Amino acid sequence: MRVTIATLGSRGDVQPFLALAVALRRAGHAVRLATNEPFRGFVEAHEIEFAPLGGDIKEIVGDAGRAALLAAHGRPLETFRALRRAVGPLVRQGISRLPAALEGSEVVIGQLLVPAAEHYAEARGLPYIDAAYVPVVPTRAFAHPGAPPNVPRGIASLCTHLAAEQVFWQAFRAEVSAFRRDVLGVGRASFFGPSARPLQKRPPALLGYSNTLLPRAPDWPEHVVVTGPWLLDDATPWRPSPSLQAFLDAPGERPIYVGFGSMTVADPWKTTRLVRAAVAKAGARAVLATGWGGLARDGDADGDDCVCFIDEAPHQWLFARVSAVVHHGGASTTAECLRAGVPQLVVPFLGDQPFWGRTVANAGLGPPPIAVGELTVDRLADALRSLRDPKVARSAAQVGAQTRAESGAELAAASLPRLVEHAHTKPRPRRS
């Protein structure tokens, strides 16, 4: 089958779908990955056909957009406004390029930030499959990953899923309706979008997160498949800089990795000084990744044998060489920590990150999360010490072995024929 995967976002958003694409290609399918233009080389290095679906998310969303999303976290109305302002240009760009990206497809796999992909597939009579690496299919078993903590199971948890769907859907319903009218020549979209349909009548779904960390919800229908995380192997051997290699090879305890990926903070210098002070207080060594602006390369660290600054490094390579990981709680980074079998501390910023932080801590793989706005030298130092607990290390190693055995991307590829058959035979929802 000729399969097109449509997704947008940062590298952490795109990489799992590239792993899925590689597994589908190995299973004998012709696969195209439609995503942000800056990832063209990354995709093609893995011998996957690329189609442009958006520009550079770092430039499109910008520091102001990321700050708006962070400030809106936990407040539905403000989140709606922040999505329109910060993510809206990216989504609209993806919608405008969607027909060219999906041309010639026999199966469409779509992600949340490409809300028009399902509508294109429906209008063209193509099977469509939802895909995510976060448990966003409505359930009574647990709350939506973006919901506040301690929501009780049952109807309350289900309502958090439906509410989150509505916040995102209403933010971009007008754009999807215009696409249906002007490009597809069909009627406007349903006012309530996905929430208007019971689960049995929704498209099949592939969910690429660890069953070991979070068991599948018992009230999901059979066409919702939890596979395990979609983990990508490096296409080519990666060589560290001499300074990083020397730091990793230094005698004594392995260093801790600290990095916040695509997250940004108002004052990276202040955050870096806090992290360095906590590392020193805990008697540890650390590799500090600057990322998009969570940390800054501190000139005062010259001559400090306890820290080593890097811009970035492949997580698969680096996490296998550190003793623990401190990160922002993105789903992809969390999954890479699971694969490496190392303890982890989540410092969440927004979205599903607090959820992964709580889930990791509940599984005994690290201390409770510390929100980025609540970081102090003492709190972080105490958390770094707890990452050395042999019991935590044993639990992380055990879960690591289980996660690697899940072979999530391969299971997703093996599930495709069954889900395509369901997508062909399920009742088509009516739209006004």
* pLDDT tens digit sequence for 295-341: 888 766 555 789 999 998 999 999 999 999 999 999 999 999 999 99
> Does 138 have pLDDT greater than 60?
yes
Q: What is the mean pLDDT of residues 47-60?
A: 86
Name the pLDDT band for 267 (thresholds 50, 70, 90). confident
Q: Residues 154, 213, 342, CA angle at the centre, nearest 5°? A: 150
- Domain 242-405: CATH superfamily is Glycogen Phosphorylase B; (3.40.50.2000)
Residues 214 and 135: beta-carbon distance below 8 Å: yes
Per-residue pLDDT of 372-385, as tens digits, reads 999 999 999 999 99
Exposure string for 117-146, b = 16+ CB within 10 A, e = fewer = bbbbbbeeebbbbbbbbbbbbbbbbbbbbb
Q: What is the mean pLDDT of residues 338-355?
A: 94
> Does 432 have pLDDT greater than 50?
no
The percentage of the chain sitting over the pLDDT mark of 90, rounded to a whole number, equals 70
Lowest-pLDDT range of 30-39, 62-71, 124-133, 408-417? 62-71
Provide the pLDDT for residue 87. 75
Where are the chain's structural domains?
A: 2-228+407-425, 242-405
CATH of 2-228+407-425 given 3.40.50.2000, 3.30.460.10, 3.40.1180.10, 3.40.50.880? 3.40.50.2000
Name the pLDDT band for 66 (thresholds 50, 70, 90). low
Provide the pLDDT for residue 427. 46
More confident residue, 89 or 70: 89
Instruction: Give a three-class secondary structure readout of the chain.
Output: CEEEEECCCCHHHHHHHHHHHHHHHHCCCEEEEEEEHHHHHHHHCCCCEEEEEECCHHHHHHHHHHHHHHHHCCCHHHHHHHHHHHHHHHHHHHHHHHHHHHCCCCEEEECCCCCCHHHHHHHHCCCEEEEECCCCCCCCCCCCCCCCCCCCCCHHHHHHHHHHHHHHHHHHHHHHHHHHHHHHCCCCCCCCHHHHCCHHHCCCEEECCCCCCCCCCCCCCCCEEECCCCCCCCCCCCCCCHHHHHHHHCCCCCCEEEECCCCCCCCHHHHHHHHHHHHHHCCCCEEEECCCCCCCCCHHHCCCCCEEEECCCCHHHHHCCCCEEEECCCHHHHHHHHHHCCCEEECCCCCCHHHHHHHHHHCCCCCCCCCHHHCCHHHHHHHHHHCCCHHHHHHHHHHHHHHHHHCHHHHHHHHHHHHHHHHHHCCCCCCC
More confident residue, 291 or 342: 342
Per-residue pLDDT of 151-182, as tens digits, reads 999 999 999 999 999 988 998 899 999 999 99
Provide the pLDDT for residue 429. 47
Starting at the edge strand that comes first in sequence, how are the strands of the sheet with 128-132 ordered? 49-54, 30-36, 2-6, 107-110, 128-132, 205-207, 224-226
Name the pLDDT band for 238 (thresholds 50, 70, 90). confident
Averaged confidence pLDDT in the chain: 90
Residue 202 tokens, joined: 């929704």
Query: Residue 329's closest CA among 152, 156, 209?
Result: 209
> Does 123 have pLDDT greater than 60?
yes
Domains 2-228+407-425 and 242-405 share a fold: yes
Q: Which residue type does 296 have?
A: A
Exposure string for 7-37, b = 16+ CB within 10 A, e = fewer = bbbbbbbbbbbbbbbbbbbebebebbbbbbe
Per-residue pLDDT of 171-229, as tens digits, reads 889 999 999 999 999 988 889 888 888 888 899 999 999 988 999 999 999 999 999 99
Provide the pLDDT for residue 207. 97
**Can you tell me the distance from the alpha carbon of 395 to that of 208, in angstroms, rounded to the nearest whole number?**
21
Provide the pLDDT for residue 62. 67
Lowest-pLDDT range of 50-64, 93-107, 230-244? 50-64
Provide the pLDDT for residue 58. 74
pTM of the model: 0.91
Provide the pLDDT for residue 303. 58
Per-residue pLDDT of 411-424, as tens digits, reads 999 999 999 999 87
Provide the pLDDT for residue 10. 86
**Can you tell me the distance from the alpha carbon of 125 to that of 110, in angstroms, rounded to the nearest whole number?**
15
Taking CA atoms, 300 is separated from 250, 297, 409, in Å, by 21, 9, 43
Provide the pLDDT for residue 56. 80
